C-alpha cells in the first residue's frame, strides 16, 4: 500500500490534485484514498501515511484484522474510528499509535456498483463535526467525479502490455498474430476508455490502476 499519485490526468479522478492539499492539512497523521475497489484491489490508490507504518502494516498483514478496513468493506457512510464497534484482534490501533496515528475517521461510498474509501488520521484529537462534513463533501465530489472505467478487454490489455515493454506496432502485431491496423484500433479503444490523451498516458493509467 505504497503507491502514490502522479498528475491527476493519470488517475481518472480529475479533481484529485485540488483535494489532496486539503487532506494533508486536515489529516496531519496521514490518509488513504482508494477508488473502485475490486478483487484485484483498488483501481486508484493514494496513501500519505508514514512510510514506516505502511511497511509494518504490510509486513504484519494488518489488513486481515483491521477493524476500520472491515467496517468500510461492509458499510457505507461516515464513521470516526472511536465509533467503530469491531474488535481489534491484531492490535492495529496500538501499533499505529507508535507512528502518532491516534484518531481517525473513515468515509465509505458505493457508486456505480463499486466501493471507494477515504480514511484520515489525526495525531492529537478527534475530528470535529464540521471537519467530518467538509471531508465527506469533498470525498463525495471525488467519487462522483471519478472517470475510472475498468472495461478493457484482454486483447486491449495484451496490446498495452506490449506497448509498455517498448515494442513497436509491427512487433506487437507479429507477436499477437494480428495486423498493425488492429493494434492501432486496440490502442485507440484502450486510450478512449481510460480517458488518456495519448498512448503513453494510457499505459501510465493502466499501470497505476494495476491493470497491467
Pairing of strands 77-80, 103-111: antiparallel
Q: How far apart are CA 92 and CA 96, in angstroms?
A: 6
**Does the 154-208 domain belong in CATH 1.10.3720.10?**
no
Predicted confidence (pLDDT) at residue 130 exceeds the cutoff of 90: yes
Quote the Cα angle for 39-41-44, to 5°.
135
For the residues 104-115, what does the mean pLDDT come to?
A: 90
Express each pLDDT in 27-46 by its tens digit: 999 999 998 887 667 778 89
In terms of CATH architecture, what is 8-145?
2-Layer Sandwich (3.30)
Find, among 138, 178, 144, the residue nearest to 158 by Cα. 178
Q: What is the distance in angstroms between the CA of the first residue and the CA of the last residue of the chain?
A: 17
Query: So what's the pLDDT on residue 40?
Result: 66
Predicted confidence (pLDDT) at residue 6 exceeds the cutoff of 80: no
C-alpha distance from residue 6 to each of 50, 128, 148 (Å): 18, 30, 15
Find, among 41, 64, 145, 53, the residue nearest to 104 by Cα. 53
For the residues 81-87, what does the mean pLDDT come to?
A: 96
- Enumerate the domain spans of the chain: 8-145, 154-208
Q: Write the burial class of residue 125 (CB in 10 Å: 0-12 exposed, 13-18 middle, 19+ buried).
A: exposed
**98: number of Cβ within 10 Å:** 11
Predicted confidence (pLDDT) at residue 5 exceeds the cutoff of 70: no
Residue-averaged pLDDT of the chain: 88
Amino acid at each position: 500500500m505504497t503507491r502514490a499519485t502522479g498528475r491527476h490526468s493519470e488517475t481518472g479522478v480529475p479533481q484529485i490534485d485540488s483535494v489532496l492539499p486539503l487532506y494533508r492539512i486536515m489529516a496531519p497523521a496521514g490518509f488513504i484514498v482508494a477508488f473502485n475497489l475490486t478483487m484485484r484491489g483498488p483501481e486508484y490508490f493514494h496513501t500519505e501515511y508514514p512510510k514506516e507504518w505502511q511497511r509494518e502494516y504490510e509486513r504484519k498483514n494488518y489488513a486481515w484484522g483491521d477493524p476500520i478496513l472491515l467496517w468500510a468493506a461492509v458499510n457505507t457512510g461516515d464513521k470516526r474510528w472511536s465509533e467503530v464497534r469491531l474488535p481489534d484482534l491484531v492490535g492495529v490501533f496500538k501499533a499505529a499509535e507508535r507512528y502518532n496515528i491516534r484518531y481517525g475517521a473513515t468515509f465509505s461510498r458505493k457508486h456505480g456498483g463499486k466501493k471507494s474509501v477515504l480514511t484520515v488520521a489525526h495525531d492529537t484529537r478527534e475530528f470535529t463535526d464540521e471537519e467530518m462534513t467538509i471531508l465527506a463533501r469533498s470525498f463525495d465530489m471525488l467519487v462522483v467525479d471519478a472517470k475510472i472505467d475498468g472495461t478493457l478487454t484482454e486483447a486491449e490489455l495484451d496490446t498495452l502490455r506490449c506497448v509498455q515493454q517498448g515494442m513497436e506496432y509491427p512487433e506487437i502485431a507479429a507477436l499477437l498474430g494480428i495486423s498493425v491496423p488492429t493494434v492501432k484500433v486496440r490502442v485507440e479503444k484502450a486510450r478512449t476508455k481510460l480517458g488518456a490523451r495519448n498512448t503513453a498516458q494510457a499505459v501510465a493509467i493502466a499501470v497505476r490502476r494495476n491493470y497491467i
